[in-house]
Chain A
Amino acid sequence: MSVLTLWGLATLVFVMIKLIPGDEAQIAAGPGASAEQVAIVAHRLGFDQPLPQQYLGFIGRLLHGDLGTSVVTSRPVLADLAVVLPSTIELLVAAAIIGTLLAFPSALVAAALRDRPADYGTRVIVIVLGGLPTFWLALMLQYLFGSVLQLTPISGQGSFGVSVPIVTGVPTADALLAGNLPAFADALHYLLLPAVVFAVPFACQVYRLLRATLLGVLASDMVLPVKAKGAGSTRIVLRHALPNALAPAISLMGTLIAGMIGGAVLVETVFGRKGVGNYLANAVALKDTYAVLGTVVFIGITVCVVNLIADLVTLAVDPRLRNASLGAAAT
């Protein structure tokens, strides 16, 4: 199914990129290029071939793990992605951690104290924050924390003069590997604001689902005997309700993390960070056909993998699903 999905995605994007106005060879050759120079470039890049042939060539290379060569950077798209991907992963992981730290405690408190001020308060905050456009939130946070309060940097990925050997491409990890704690702190400092921007919508959605699921579990018959035994509300929520409400939240988190790669276009652009989103935005603007196709397919693969991981984690934490799956397999 995943292979079919990826094939459909690749085909759709191929058609879309060809429908975008503009001659790829002209863009690659430059705005001042003569017709002869454009023809040379078109021939070299294969853009003078019929569309079906270009499509089959792309799919054929894709099957061999070749995402193509960027017209703009002249490098394999996979090599370009390898440079920018670690930065995006760092951002997504940080956002997921912050989002989880925000969502879980507040959802637990809201569920435990249903219809009390804490519940109302968190719900209002979630409604407000969850409705904010990411782009606007990013600019507002930059202005407030970067410009007015000067607590965080406004954009970029590191202070001038901060340097560590690049090993993984993830600034925080490279700083730790180098044993350079100030550089680690600096990288975290630059990571904080964009990660929070990503984390806010993530946390809001996880909060909503987790709170609703927790309330459902708490209202179910299984809680009655626990209450009858005299367990406190904290114990009921943490030991009995949460494990039973975890599966849908993990599944949602997987979907949200995968979706955040697409959202990286906005956040990475506003915060001046390199990453997959920024790379894709450039590729679209410059009609860098194979960079767009390769990046979209790569994102598609990532979404499939993240969803698979989320499913596996869900199976691991929920014995009911695990038993159901094993039972289904057995029969």
Chain B
Amino acid sequence: MGTRLHNMTGMSMMKTNGGTRRRRTAWGPALAVATVALLAAAPAVAADRADTVIVAGAGSVNTLDPIASDYVQTNTITSRIYSPLVTYDAKLNVVGDLASDYKVAPDARSIDFTIRAGAVFHDGTPVTAKDVAYTFDRIKRVAKGVAAYISLYDSAVVTDDQHVTLKLTAPSALFLTSLSKIYILNSKLVTANAGSDDGQAWLQNHDAGSGPYLLTSDNGGNEVIMDWFGKTWQPKGARPTTLDFQRADESGPKRDELASGAIDAASNVIDRDLDALAKVSGVTVAYGRAPSVDGIYFNPSSPDVSDVRVRQAVALAYDYKGALSGIHRNHGALPSGILPDTLPCQPDFPTVAQDLAKAKQLLADAGKSSLTLTLRFQPVFQEQAQEATLLQSNLKAIGVTLNLEPIAFPNYLQLLHDPKQIPAMMLLAESGLFPDPGVFLTKTYMTGQLGTNRAGYSNPKVDDVLGKAVVEADADKRCDLYKEAQTLIQADAVFMPMWWAGSTLAYRSDHLADPLNGSISSNFAPLPYNLKAK
């Protein structure tokens, strides 16, 4: 990782500027340094820039170990360097990736996989069933990151180089859908560099994958460059030869770099800068749907909100339309269900709407015409702070005093491990990480899911329905069970959906095809940064 593979077109640069610089050197070192520095940037762009896509996003990539792929910034990189056994097609169906075939056992306690013939790692080693077994066993040992997605993994049985069976500790039809972020490691390579930590330190900045791109440079997580892997089984299509992911936390620099053409796409750009970019020639701001929802979890065990009528009243008091236009600038949508947007198997719930009269009536029926509640929220997210403030104002109209208490996410996570400490009301942005809503529903609403059950919610009927869904192999029947569970949860009003947040991406439309058009969410599969047809 010591050298970037792209070689600069040094000779042409010398011809362009060298003479000028040499002459000025004679006038004095200080002047020469300043002149060289000011004149050097433009010619430094390499010749293959046209076949390169440079993407800027926020947040650090602290490790390239694929076990950390539960972290979205890491997954952006690892999802291209590594391959999972399965992924999703455009209709969100599970399809083989590194696995050419798979079969879930009728009792949902094991899954057989056939490894794709001819698949090789970046060092040329063939991908075998042994690598799959090693990867899963390692994740179980290390118990970090994506380990949460395969907590039911028990063991792997390797039949031969091409066949492996994953055995589970309990029946689960959801296990297969959670495998899209379990990236298979080159066991020989990682074992050779395992050290005392199962290769975590080595994988921090090394590549042991078989994905369509191979790692060529990692500048401490600030810039990661990868090149197309010629031996991949995937067709290249319009994908660029080189992908360059850069970290840029501030929105302003991303706006300016995109406008100048120094980068090709930028995420996490604030609204004001998006407005400015929308006016720049060659730049397009794309808005799409995304599996995300902002909303409030109520802890029904908390005395303040233990009455379902209070929870319903709070939900009816919120000015959803005002928030959509005033806070979210009409991007995203008003929710009509408790799941993040775009996830399938959602019942036909009505779209959320404000009804102050009904809210007042519910409070009166509950004998709580004068009430003080406390909402915890994360002030670092400006829109969430605005949502909280709007709700505070709305609730005042029905005689409820809402105290707003900021909380940091790590602190909130700590509270979730003790149901007695779970906040009465917590405003959060939730995302679906897998297209099967069962993964989200079971983690969030089943009894005993300490750490992920945000409401401390417990309803035996919901447990029973979701328990059936987990072992149901038939996708349609499973979908019906999900809908039934959502209806029960909705009736208990433990989650108040406020906004289906969309996704936003600013990109150079003179260089790239629209990455959001026709693609599935980047939560589920890597966003396609395809070059625009010339």
Contact = CB atoms under 8 A, between A and B. Distances in A.
Interface string A131-164: 0000000010011001100111111111111111
A269 interface: yes
A22 B40 contact: no
Given A26-B413, A147-B259, A154-B257, A161 B223 contact: no
Interface in A80-102: 83-84, 87, 101
Interface in B80-109: none
A228 interface: no
A273 interface: yes
Contacts of A157: 219, 222-223
B204 A75 contact: yes
A22 B248 contact: no
Interface stretch (A106-114, A179-187, A197-205, A311-319): A179-187
B149 interface: yes
B222 A186 contact: no
Given A159-B45, A180-B8, A26 B451 contact: yes
Nearest to B256: A147
A30 B408 contact: no
B147 interface: yes
B397 interface: no
B88 to A, nearest CB: 19
Interface residues on B, range: 35 or more
B33 A188 contact: yes
B63 A23 contact: no
A83 to B, nearest CB: 6
A250 interface: no
A73 B62 contact: yes
Given A188-B40, A189-B38, A269-B250, A37 B143 contact: yes
A188 B198 CA distance: 40
Contacts of B156: none
Interface stretch (B48-56, B157-165, B323-331, B343-351): B48-56
Contacts of A162: 4, 6, 8, 44, 46
B280 to A, nearest CB: 11
Given A37-B148, A159-B45, A21 B408 contact: yes
Given A143-B252, A161-B8, A188 B222 contact: no
Contact of B13 (A139, A153, A182, A192): A182
Contacts of B2: 165-166
Given A41-B144, A182-B43, A163 B3 contact: yes
Interface residues on A, range: 35 or more
A269 B221 CA distance: 13
B533 interface: no
Between B37, B147, B414, B450, the greatest number of chain A beta carbons within 10 A of the residue's beta carbon is seen for: B37
B5 interface: yes
B452 interface: yes
Interface string A240-282: 0000000000000000000000000000011111100011001
A165 B5 CA distance: 10
A31 B412 CA distance: 10
A160 B143 contact: no
Contact of B248 (A35, A72, A272): A272
B201 A182 contact: no
Contacts of B145: 29-30, 33
A306 B146 CA distance: 43
A301 interface: no
B148 to A, nearest CB: 4
Contacts of B52: 160
B219 A152 contact: no
Contacts of B411: 21-22
B31 interface: no
A270 B452 CA distance: 34
Contacts of B409: 22, 31
A117 interface: no
Nearest to B9: A161
Interface in B1-25: 2-10, 13-14, 17-18, 21
Contacts of B18: 181
B438 to A, nearest CB: 15
A38 interface: yes
Contact of A287 (B148, B410, B452): B410
Nearest to A150: B260
Contact of A188 (B8, B37, B220, B259): B37
B373 to A, nearest CB: 22
Contact of A33 (B10, B144, B201, B204): B144
Interface string B247-269: 11110110011011010000000
Contact of A282 (B60, B143, B252, B414): B60
A155 B257 contact: yes
Contact of A274 (B21, B37, B70, B219): B219
Nearest to B147: A37
Contact of A154 (B60, B223, B256): B256
B410 A27 contact: yes
B250 A159 contact: no
A72 B223 contact: no
A297 interface: no
Contacts of A30: 68, 70-71, 144-148
A192 B40 CA distance: 12
A274 B7 contact: no
Interface string A9-33: 0000000000011110011111111
Contacts of B257: 154-155
A186 B44 contact: yes
A40 interface: yes
Contact of B148 (A21, A32, A72): A32
A36 B200 CA distance: 20
Contacts of A29: 143-145, 147-148
B197 A74 contact: yes
Nearest to A146: B256
B118 to A, nearest CB: 32
B97 to A, nearest CB: 22
A27 B4 CA distance: 32
A88 to B, nearest CB: 11
B478 to A, nearest CB: 21
A292 B286 CA distance: 38
Nearest to A269: B249
Contacts of A173: none
Interface string B444-478: 00000011100000000000000000000000000
B71 A21 contact: no
Contacts of B39: 185
Nearest to B7: A163
Nearest to A21: B411
Nearest to A184: B36
B256 A31 contact: no
Contacts of B3: 163-166
B442 to A, nearest CB: 12
B74 to A, nearest CB: 10
B408 A160 contact: no
A150 B43 CA distance: 14
Given A182-B43, A189-B37, 7 more contacts: A26-B413, A29-B147, A139-B250, A155-B250, A161-B44, A181-B18, A189-B44
12 contacts: A22-B409, A23-B410, A32-B70, A34-B450, A74-B65, A147-B260, A155-B257, A161-B9, A166-B3, A189-B38, A189-B41, A189-B44
Q: Which 9 A-B pairs have the closest CB atoms?
A: A161-B46, A22-B410, A21-B411, A74-B200, A185-B40, A159-B44, A163-B4, A32-B148, A147-B256
